[in-house]
Amino acid sequence: MRRGISIAAAVCALALTATACGDDGDDGSTGKAKDAKDISGSLTYWDTSDATTEAPVYKQLIKDFEKKYPKIKVDYENVEFASIEQKFKSAAKTGKGAPDVMRADVGLIPEYASLHYIAPLDGTLALKGGTDDFTEGPLNTTKYQGKTYGVPSVTDTLGILYNKKLFKKAGIEKAPTTWDEFIETAKTIKKKTGVEGTYLNPDSYFLLPFLYGEGTDLADTKTKKITINSPEAVKAVTTAKKVYDQASAKVDFANSYDNMQTSFKNGEVAMLVQGPWSVTDDLSGKAFKGDESNLGFAPVPAGSTGKPQAPTGGHDLTVYQGSKNLDAAYLFTQFMTSSTSQQKVAEETATLPTRESAYTPEVTKDARIKGFHPIMKTARPRVALPQVGSLFTPLVQQYTKILQGDVSVKSGLDAAAKDFKKLLPGYTIGS
Amino acid sequence: MVAPVAIVLAVLVLYPLGYGFYLSLTDANEANVARDIGAFHAPATYKMVWFDNYWSVLSGADGDFYPRLIWTVIWTLSCVVLHIAIGMGLALLLNRRMRAKLLYRALLILPWAVPAFVGVFAWRLMLNSQYGVFNDMITAVGLPAQNWLATPFAQKTAVIMVNVWIGVPFNMVALLGGLQSIPKELYEAAEMDGASPWQRFVNITLPGLRPVTNTVVLLGCIWTFNMFAVIYLLLGQNTTGEADILVTFAFRKAFTGVSDYSGAATYGIVILALLLAFSTFYRRRQLKTEQA
């Protein structure tokens, strides 16, 4: 029933802007709710979607947008995901050449918001129609200090991806639900099939499920404490090290991500902790090509809290604070994140929508979305600190040393906590 | 007509340098500098901290500087020594009369002509422990596969190797030019006097090459000290940070998360000071040997 209402709300929100089906929006709140049809001008949109597989559908949406609002002209630019942060920040500071609307990784929202690069969207056209329809995880990523700075566009999280045939060969019925089971499963697979059980990606983002599983995080914003060397975190990283030592294929640290992908899709590794963005690539490998049903999906293993939890990833659309054409930018953001737009994108690219109403039967028909949709319930946002991007660097360095056995878990995390303290003024190292 | 030169120097060199130095005396970062973004205005809230940044760096209080400096020096020395030694060897080989000399020269200069990032990524692929050609080769002859880029030691060896590969051609060409400028008569006279090949090398070739080697060493040291691409691109992000030299470390400071302008500027000025001190010392010693 809730879904029904949401669809109605979404449809009406769209209809509101398209036709003048109700001028009730014009309550004069900050003068922003001007009639959508009267907005004119041009705007620039920076997109980080994959240039070959995903960008075409976004370009098509932009054409639809221009058709609907002929007075607005949109300049589309595809920027590589890896370089957009630098590119946007240098443009945003000087105000020259920054886009009006940008697709930003959800992890960057607190940083951009705290630096005032992106505009608060509460009460603007961008959020017209309300936020009830958005799923909770992605919606939480848009908030910084009580204001909303983004509109969720696509989402993801981490889960277990596994090779069903290899599981069957090893006589394993279902995916592991705890880290202990995860290790056991990997060992059994190795023993029975000769294939490596898993490949641990030694990256700080992929460490988060271990931390969340013990109920801890990098830091606690309420008590202003750094918690990366708390007893819970030590336990979490000890588990990660156990996975690395006992269950993982040999990790090539400089090429970890690429090797993880290649070995999994070629059938040399039986299961991974990975995100939905990798699935299209997985299915192109010889283990899954032409046999998509061989790929199994499960939530990440749970830690000692018993609750599986992984970070919410994905992208939000944000509006540059210094945009010359804020109204058009808000309107464009609303259009691109509408339920219809999200459905279209999901159908074409198999990325996960952020609106409940966009999970139509058409959309969930896709095995990739069907596999990950229930896993999204385990997603939780990263700690909302502007410095979260900077924290990952010392963390990954210590994590690498810990995995390689150069330092103990405790002293590695203590060193990371010390580095965190340099980056987080006013925080104390909790214990 | 000094004015245009002075203006160009002021705009291109002195202003950025002065501004960098000024930043290094403050606690400026991305969150407290003045910004004007649309309707949002923020005044600058950073303040002068004078030499605090330098103190925390040079006293070792930041815990990063000295380990990075030691490794940077080791890295620079090993690279430059290998550059000159291998470059000299190849130059001597090419300085003889032989067929297809131009072809050899063209082939040997190739690594230098390839854009650094292309070369570095190619090495990264070759050194891949699972899918790289290196392990394919050694496992084909029955040796165990190696994890070429795994531990800090392996990573350090790998970056030196790749940088040597990139830098040797330039040294070879420069030294070859030097070799060809040494008058043939000197060798003929020495041969008449019964000097052995080694004696000829030590007493004619090396002194004859000194003007070239002096320049090449100075340039090599400065370039290698500041060589960014090899280290940053070969190792990617999942490293212990042990193989970071001063410049890659300063880059991470300035460009990850909320930028630390003052910290990066301090590193920049310290690097500049180190290189200035080195080149002054080096030039002076060079003059002394030339006068001797």
Q: What is the residue whose two structure tokens read 């209080």?
A: B61
Same domain, A163 and A249: yes
* pLDDT computed for residue A14 by the predictor: 42
Q: Look up the domain containing A297 and give its range.
A: 159-311+383-429
The encoded tokens of residue B253 equal 């400071």
The confidence score (pLDDT) of residue A17 equals 41
Q: Label residue B258 by pLDDT band (50, 70, 90).
A: confident
The arithmetic mean of pLDDT across residues B186-194, rounded, is 91
Judgement on whether residues A107 and A227 belong to the same structural domain of the protein: no
- pLDDT at residue A261 tops 90: yes
* DSSP-derived secondary structure letter, A224: T
- Read off the pLDDT of residues B197-230 as tens digits, 9 standing for 90 and up: 899 999 999 999 988 999 899 999 999 999 998 9
* A256 and A343 inside one domain: no
Put simply, the answer to whether A255 touches B151 (Cβ < 8 Å) is: no
Which residues are registered as beta bridge partners of A355?
A134
Among A58-62, A338-342, B45-49, name the one with the lowest average pLDDT. Answer: B45-49
- Report ipTM (2 d.p.): 0.84
| Residues A109 and A178 reside in one and the same domain | no
A286 and A323 both lie in a single domain: no
Q: Do residue A307 and residue A207 come from a single domain?
A: yes
Contacts of B161 in chain A (CB under 8 A): none
* pLDDT (tens digit per residue) in A358-391: 999 999 988 889 999 999 888 888 898 988 888 9
A205 and A56, same structural domain? no
**Closest CA–CA distance from residue B9 to any residue of chain A (Å):** 24
Contacts of B259 in chain A (CB under 8 A): 89
In terms of domains, do A317 and A307 share one?
A: no
Chain A residue with minimum CA distance to B233: A254
User: Are A137 and A189 contained in the same domain?
Assistant: no
Share the mean pLDDT of chain A: 88
Model pLDDT for residues A180-235, shown as the tens digit of each residue: 999 999 999 999 999 999 999 999 999 999 999 999 999 999 999 999 999 999 99
Clarify whether residues A181 and A196 are in a common domain.
yes
Q: Give the number of other Cβ atoms within 10 Å of residue A245's Cβ.
A: 12
- B237-265 as b/e, with b when 16 or more CB fall inside 10 Å? bbbbbbbbbbbbbbbbbbebbbbbbbbbb
> Predicted confidence band at B189 (pLDDT cuts at 50, 70, 90)?
very high
Regarding whether A389 and A370 lie in a shared domain, the answer is no
Q: How many independent structural domains does chain A possess? A: 2
Please answer yes or no on whether B258 and A404 come within 8 Å at the CB atom.
no
pLDDT at B292: 61
The answer on A372 and A254 residing in a single domain is no
Residue among A321, A387, A396 whose CB faces B258 most closely? A387
Residue A68's CATH number: 3.40.190.10
Q: By C-alpha distance, which of A311, A313, A319 is closest to A103?
A: A319
Q: What is the pLDDT of residue A20?
A: 39
φ, ψ at B246 (rounded to 5°): -55, -45
Work out the average pLDDT over B102-128. Answer: 88
pLDDT level of residue A402 (50, 70, 90 thresholds): very high
Percent of chain B residues topping a pLDDT of 70? 100
Give the end of a domain, one of A380, A404, A419. A380
Task: Let me know if residue A92 belongs to a domain.
Answer: yes
Test A386 with B257 for CB contact under 8 angstroms. yes
Q: What is the mean pLDDT of residues A24-41?
A: 58
Instruction: Check residues B30 and B1 and name the one with the higher pLDDT.
Output: B30
Task: Give the mean model confidence (pLDDT) for residues B18-27.
Answer: 93
Q: What is the pLDDT of residue A94?
A: 80
Predicted confidence band of residue A431 (pLDDT cuts 50, 70, 90): low
Task: Give mean pLDDT, residues B49-53.
Answer: 90
| Per-residue pLDDT at A167 exceeds 60 | yes
What element of type H or E holds A163? Answer: strand A159-163
Inter-chain CB proximity A393 and B240 less than 8 Å = no
A362 within some domain:
yes
Run of H or E residues at B31: none
Q: Are A335 and A341 in contact (CB under 8 A)?
A: yes
Residues 369-398 of A with CB under 8 A from B: 386-394, 396-397
Mean pLDDT of all residues in B86-93: 92
